[in-house]
Amino acid sequence: MTTEVPRGSAGVPPRPFCFIGVVHSPFLTPSGTPAQPAYAGPDAVGTVEVFEEYAAGLEDLDGFERIWVVSWFHRAGAARLRVIPYLDYEERGLFSTRAPARPNPIGISAVRLLRREGRRLHVADLDLIDGTPVLDLKPYAAAFDSYPGSGEGWLRGRKDADGRGDDRFTAGP
Amino acid sequence: MTTEVPRGSAGVPPRPFCFIGVVHSPFLTPSGTPAQPAYAGPDAVGTVEVFEEYAAGLEDLDGFERIWVVSWFHRAGAARLRVIPYLDYEERGLFSTRAPARPNPIGISAVRLLRREGRRLHVADLDLIDGTPVLDLKPYAAAFDSYPGSGEGWLRGRKDADGRGDDRFTAGP
């Protein structure tokens, strides 16, 4: 298999990305925010506002119970390759965790879609802070995304820990 | 809820992103490539090569059965807000589909991790073409990612269609 590595010497991609929307959330800081949608309580409701120029892409999304919010962790600090993740006490390789301090601080959140009101998506199970920029939205499809028995490495036995964030991955003000 | 929208007038993000690795795949073009890992056959094996400077972040990933490959669809054409997706005959809002021609052509693929050999991850259920740049890797955690009964909108009744790609979303050579 021959592979052309599509990056320049600095790893610069061929085109920049854009923000298609923004999250409005009751959580104002990483501290106390659910670490994952699975840890969200009844208070974790908010809206995803999609900017006018992308609104036409939202049609047909309503039929899905969950959607992937692909977001940019704008409050994340510098990337670290070894972290003590939420839910654990031991240092782990970053890519074996969902910690926000990543080379590209991109998050994927399977939030619950309550209803769509034009270009505003009312969602529950929100694990993102207020003002989080949105890069993409995708339908959650059980046929593609759900692997209930999938082996879960170090998370085994830790997933019932307290799933709230703190400031360990946050950049200064 | 007050929200500061963190974008300039042109939607330019505060910092650029980088590629952390590249996919080596037997699929050379979008045409014929599985549309999702769920449609991959036994031929869909390859490797994810992580660049040297990020290799330390791979530790502990081995214990997971599946991983999320967050990728950049480098062959995708210009974004379209309405598309006829793979698996369907009708035009849909882009964000209700997993089509590659997105404002940010970011993909999420839950591939099966066969083994790690240093900074090379041998994977199966690969739905990415050779040379696809990698933005991030995350563990697939059933506790966070698996919602087996989740309502699936227009995909209901279409998910057993032929799940191979073609050239409809590909940029010219």
Q: Write a three-state SS string for B56-72.
A: HHHCCHHHECEEEEEEE
Pick from B60, B65, B98: CB nearest A150: B65
Whether the pLDDT of residue B9 is over 70: the answer is no
Chain A residues touching B17 at Cβ < 8 A: 13, 17, 104, 106
Which tokens is A38 given?
A: 């699975």
CA–CA distance, A71 with B81 (Å, rounded to integer): 19
pLDDT at res. B10 = 39
Q: How confident is the model at residue A159 (pLDDT cuts 50, 70, 90)?
A: low
Quickly tell me which residue has 């799933």 as its tokens. A163
**What tens digit of pLDDT does each residue of B114-135 get?**
999 999 999 999 999 999 999 9
Q: How confident is the model at residue B15 (pLDDT cuts 50, 70, 90)?
A: low
Average pLDDT over residues A9-27: 74
pLDDT at res. B42 = 87
Q: What is the percentage of chain A residues whose pLDDT exceeds 90?
A: 59
User: What average pLDDT is seen over chain B?
Assistant: 87
| Residue contact A59–B93, C-beta within 8 A | yes
Whether the pLDDT of residue B11 is over 50: the answer is no
| Residue contact B110–A147, C-beta within 8 A | yes
CA distance A107 to chain B (A): 9
Amino acid, res. B45: V
CA–CA distance, B18 with B134 (Å, rounded to integer): 9
CA distance A165 to chain B (A): 15
Q: How confident is the model at residue A5 (pLDDT cuts 50, 70, 90)?
A: very low
Q: How confident is the model at residue A18 (pLDDT cuts 50, 70, 90)?
A: confident
Q: What is the percentage of chain B residues whose pLDDT exceeds 70?
A: 88
pLDDT at res. B1 = 32
Q: Which of the residue ranges A153-167, B58-72, B76-90 would you say has the lowest mean pLDDT?
A: A153-167
Chain A residues touching B104 at Cβ < 8 A: 17-18, 20, 70, 135-136
- C-beta of residue B96 within 8 angstroms of C-beta of residue A61: yes
Average pLDDT over residues B167-172: 81
CA–CA distance, A134 with B63 (Å, rounded to integer): 30
pLDDT at res. A134 = 96
- C-beta of residue B19 within 8 angstroms of C-beta of residue B51: yes
CA–CA distance, B79 with A53 (Å, rounded to integer): 12
**What tens digit of pLDDT does each residue of A35-52 get?**
888 888 888 999 999 999
CA–CA distance, B136 with A102 (Å, rounded to integer): 8
DSSP characters over B72-130: E-TTB-S--SEE--TT-SS-EEGGGS--S--SS-EEEEEEEEEEEETTEEEEES----T
Average pLDDT over residues A61-75: 95
Higher pLDDT, residue A145 or B166: A145
Query: What is the 3-state secondary structure of A112-162?
Result: EEEEEECCEEEEECCCCCCCCEEEEEEECCHHHHCCCCCCEHHHCCCCCCC
Q: Bridge-partner residues for A122, per DSSP?
A: A47, A115
Q: Which of A166, A172, A168 lies closest to A29, judged by CA? A: A166
Average pLDDT over residues B64-84: 93
Higher pLDDT, residue A8 or A89: A89
In A, minimum Cα distance to B147 occurs at A146
Higher pLDDT, residue A137 or A5: A137
Q: How confident is the model at residue B99 (pLDDT cuts 50, 70, 90)?
A: very high
Average pLDDT over residues B48-64: 95
CA–CA distance, A22 with A24 (Å, rounded to integer): 7
A139 CB near a chain B CB, below 8 Å?
A: yes
- C-beta of residue B41 within 8 angstroms of C-beta of residue A45: no
Q: How confident is the model at residue A59 (pLDDT cuts 50, 70, 90)?
A: very high
CA–CA distance, A51 with A62 (Å, rounded to integer): 17
Q: How confident is the model at residue B159 (pLDDT cuts 50, 70, 90)?
A: low
Q: Helix, strand, or coil here: A50?
A: strand
CA–CA distance, A102 with B161 (Å, rounded to integer): 36
**What tens digit of pLDDT does each residue of B79-92 get?**
999 999 887 888 99
pLDDT at res. A35 = 87
How many other β-carbons are positioned within 10 Å of the β-carbon of residue A151?
16
Average pLDDT over residues B69-80: 92
CA distance B167 to chain A (A): 20
Q: What is the percentage of chain B residues whose pLDDT exceeds 90?
A: 59
Instruction: Tell me how far CA of residue A77 lies from CA of A28, A30, A80, in angstroms.
Output: 16, 12, 9
